[in-house]
Amino acid sequence: MKIGIDSYCFHRYFGETYPFQRPTERRWTVDDFLTFAQRMGVDGVSLESCFFPKLGTRVLKKVRARLDALGFERVWAWGHPAGLEGGKSKRAANDLAKHFGYAQAIGAKTMRIVGGNRSHRDEPIPRVLRRLAARLKELVKVAEDHGVVMAYENHIDLRADELLELLAVVDSPWLGVNLDTGNNIRLGEDPADECRKLAPFTRATHVKDIGIELRGKCCAPKEFAFWPSVPLGTGLVDLPAVVNALRAANYDGLYCIETDYLREDCPDEETAVEQSVAYLRALAAA
């Protein structure tokens, strides 16, 4: 098992705070994040492009040099928060096309992409799938030219069977899945069942555990805030079943820890990630 960390775990440190979160005075750069990942002794990272203040040749060359020196496997992450906007946005598709070059520049062979978010479930899903398929059929050609595989995240926009339908329509080895082990619980799906379906197509992961909000901020299970992140092994996701499914599918990429809205009774982000790293190591050794 190759353990990684997604920089989104520290979104508050990069200046992004959800409306129902406390802000933090702590601020990190991408370099600070890489120093933390080095201290954790992990095998790689997923770098959220939204946390780079600039994306130029000089910056990316410096990041690649640091990643190479650390010996990190790497994933480039595009699309936070709404990605292709359910396939509606030509502007977003053009931006995604540029990011293949950025991924290539840092030596990433996989790029996590986002097609939409939970707001796109308000539309008829067949219509959303048609739009996304049309965009992605164009983008797989760019992906092949750059040698970078797109990994579509189940970003609370598509259920597992819907994502499988999208993959079948696009039908390209340059489009796979970024399996988020927690997002689909927010759509009422069982994470282990979802993983068994998506594991054969998985090219990257967000290994996430989900709890239930304990402080009464939100009482509706359909609301995002009802399902906060918790350190791995302390929530509702059957992570051993997830790992077994990925192993059975011969997945050989990073098991990349990600938290989004960390529940307030949890430790700070650094401690939560440290606990999650320890959990994955214990799981790998079991």
pLDDT, tens digit, 9 for 90 and up, residues 120-157: 999 999 999 999 999 999 999 999 999 999 999 999 99
What is the per-residue DSSP string for 201-213?
Answer: GEEEEEB-EE---
pLDDT, tens digit, 9 for 90 and up, residues 2-52: 999 999 999 999 999 998 888 999 999 999 999 999 999 999 999 999 999
Q: Is the pLDDT of residue 83 over 90?
A: yes
Mark out the alpha helices in the chain (DSSP H runs): 30-40, 57-70, 90-105, 125-146, 160-170, 191-198, 239-248, 269-285
Separation of alpha carbons 88 and 119, rounded Å: 13
pLDDT of residue 20: 82
Cα torsion 200, 206, 211, 217: sign: negative
Q: Average model confidence (pLDDT) for the chain?
A: 96
Read off the pLDDT of each residue in 87-115 and give the average, rounded to a whole number: 98
Q: Is the pLDDT of residue 218 over 70?
A: no
pTM of the model: 0.97
pLDDT of residue 224: 87
Of 201, 204, 37, which is closest to residue 110 (Cα–Cα)? Answer: 204
Q: Is the pLDDT of residue 215 over 90?
A: no
Q: What confidence category does residue 216 fall into, taking pLDDT thresholds of 50, 70 and 90?
A: low
pLDDT of residue 222: 83
Of 4, 92, 89, 16, which is closest to residue 47 (Cα–Cα)? Answer: 4
Q: Is the pLDDT of residue 217 over 70?
A: no
pLDDT, tens digit, 9 for 90 and up, residues 185-194: 999 999 999 9
Read off the pLDDT of each residue in 267-283 and give the average, rounded to a whole number: 97
Read off the pLDDT of each residue in 176-196 and give the average, rounded to a whole number: 95
What CATH code is carried by the domain that includes residue 177?
Answer: 3.20.20.150
Given a contact cutoff of 8 angstroms between Cβ atoms, the answer to whether 180 and 258 are in contact is yes
Of 187, 180, 197, which is closest to residue 120 (Cα–Cα)? Answer: 187
Read off the pLDDT of each residue in 176-180 and give the average, rounded to a whole number: 98
Of 234, 252, 248, 243, which is closest to residue 283 (Cα–Cα)? Answer: 243
Per-residue b or e along 115-145, where b marks 16 or more CB atoms closer than 10 Å to that residue's CB: bbbbebbeeeeeebbebbbebbeebbebbee
Q: What confidence category does residue 223 fall into, taking pLDDT thresholds of 50, 70 and 90?
A: confident
Could you identify the residue written with the tokens 């048609």? 130
Residues present in the chain in total: 286
pLDDT of residue 219: 62
How many domains, in total, are found in the chain? 1
Q: What confidence category does residue 286 fall into, taking pLDDT thresholds of 50, 70 and 90?
A: confident
Tokens coding 198: 């998506």
Give the structural domain span for 188.
2-285
Q: Is the pLDDT of residue 248 over 90?
A: yes
What is the per-residue DSSP string for 77-146?
Answer: E--TTTTTGGGT-HHHHHHHHHHHHHHHHTT-SEEEEE---GGGGGS-HHHHHHHHHHHHHHHHHHHHHH
Separation of alpha carbons 35 and 21, rounded Å: 25
